[in-house]
Amino acid sequence: MRTVTLIIVHCSATPEGQSFDFEQCRRDHIRHRGFRDIGYHFYITRNGEIHRGRPIEQIGAHCQHHNRHSVGICYEGGLDRNRQPCDTRTLEQKASLLALIRELKKLYPNALVVGHRDLNPMKACPCFDAVAEYR
Ligand SMILES: [Zn+2]
């Protein structure tokens, strides 16, 4: 099993009122980013549904320099209607994120939960303080 030291939370940078479902995300990663599959391991749509992306045994493609030892989770949203960074998580997404992170922490008890922005200060992603919320 690969070593996982980080659980990295992302947003899809989708404005409120718009949809960017799991298949759209997967297609975008394959067509426009040249990945062979979606870069995230999990994708949580606004209704709270948790979609499995890349198998967690495989290295993802979601955070430069940190893919090898991390699991990537993305929620649909992250921008307000004016396309400004905003914590747009629905109650369903918050509940699913928490449940998923709890499960992953059982698999990887020593992994730290962080947001993309904690590893790359140029990013606003995931538009909330993941370190404080999942401490
Ligand atoms: Zn991100």
Cα distance between residue 115 and residue 124, in whole Å: 9
For residue 128, the domain's CATH number is 3.40.80.10
Domain hosting residue 81, numbered range: 6-133
The tally of domains found in the chain comes to 1
Those residues of the chain that have pLDDT short of 50 are none
Q: Give Cα separations from 36 to 58, 64, 70, 125 (angstroms).
A: 12, 17, 18, 23
Task: Of 44, 4, 43, 10, give the one whose Cα is nearest residue 119.
Answer: 10
- Which residues make up the environment of ion ligand 1, defined by Cβ < 5 Å? 10, 116, 125
Q: How far is CA 29 from the centre of its chain?
A: 14
Give the model's pLDDT for residue 1: 79
What digits encode the pLDDT tens for the residues 45-67? 999 999 999 999 999 999 999 99
Residue 1 within any structural domain of the chain: no
Cα(65) to centroid(ligand 1), Å: 13
